[in-house]
Amino acid sequence: MRDLHPFVLTKLVSLPHHSREELLCARQVATVFLAISEVVRGANRVYESDAFLELAEPNIKDIIDTLAENKFNSIYVIPYFLYSGNHVLRDIPEIIEGFRRKYPSISLKLGDYLGIDERLAELVMERIASIKSA
């Protein structure tokens, strides 16, 4: 993603899981994704948006329609999920496949969910160390 042709508009859509505690979750998600967006934009020279699968706005379907209307050529969807449940295994792939049929000229790619990653374990260890030193 680093060497994008200057006329290719690429959008990364971050797709976090959402809670029924809408206001609290919305604030937390906004804070987290603002920080992540800045890193992603700087490192990859792509536009970045956040979307939700359900329970909050903007939802993934509206975001993809908007990106298509705004002539984005490539859309990458990255689910911010730690484990594979129905959303990761069924719901999100079905939505993406539906949009591939709806917009065949757009390169719409679904990345893997966050899952188990050694870096997450390292983050947990950092949190433990901060508790011990407090």
CATH number of the CATH domain containing 23? 3.40.50.1400
Query: Domain for residue 54, yes or no?
Result: yes
Query: Domain for residue 2, yes or no?
Result: no
Query: Domain for residue 31, yes or no?
Result: yes
Query: Domain for residue 1, yes or no?
Result: no
Q: What pLDDT score was predicted for residue 55?
A: 72
Could you list the residue range(s) of the whole structural domain that residue 121 is in?
10-133
* Phi then psi dihedrals of residue 90, to 5 deg: -125, -55
Which two structure tokens, joined as six digits, stand for 116? Answer: 């188990």
Measured distance CA(42)–CA(61) in Å, rounded:
26
Count of domains for the chain: 1
Query: Domain for residue 5, yes or no?
Result: no
Q: What is the pTM of this model?
A: 0.71
Task: Label residues 41-58 b or e (16+ Cβ within 10 Å = b).
Answer: eeeeebbbbbbbbeebee
Q: What is the pLDDT along the chain (134 residues), one digit of tens a residue?
A: 333 333 444 565 666 655 555 555 556 666 666 666 666 666 555 666 777 777 777 788 998 999 899 888 888 888 888 888 898 999 999 999 999 999 999 999 998 888 888 888 888 888 888 988 87
Query: Domain for residue 3, yes or no?
Result: no
Measured distance CA(92)–CA(118) in Å, rounded:
24
